[in-house]
Amino acid sequence: MEVLIPLGFILILSIFLGFEVISKVPSTLHTPLMSGSNAISGITLIGALITAGTGVPEWISITLGVSAVAFATINVVGGYVVTDRMLGMFKKKKVQEK
pLDDT single digits (tens) 36-51: 777 777 787 787 777 7
Domain of residue 57, residue span: 28-89
CB-CB contact of 30 with 86 (8 Å): yes
Higher pLDDT, 70 or 27: 70
Q: pTM value?
A: 0.55
Cβ atoms < 10 Å from Cβ of 30: 14
| 94 belongs to a structural domain | no
How far apart CA 26 and CA 29 sit, in angstroms, is 6
**Mean pLDDT in residue range 69-98:** 78
Assess whether pLDDT exceeds 70 at residue 56: no
| 60 belongs to a structural domain | yes
Assess whether pLDDT exceeds 80 at residue 60: no
| 7 belongs to a structural domain | no
| 95 belongs to a structural domain | no
Count up the domains in the chain and report the number: 1
Give residue 98's pLDDT: 64
| 69 belongs to a structural domain | yes
Cβ atoms < 10 Å from Cβ of 72: 19
Give residue 77's pLDDT: 85
Name the average pLDDT for the chain: 79
Q: Is 14 exposed, middle or buried (0-12, 13-18, 19+ CB in 10 A)?
A: exposed
| 14 belongs to a structural domain | no
Give residue 12's pLDDT: 93
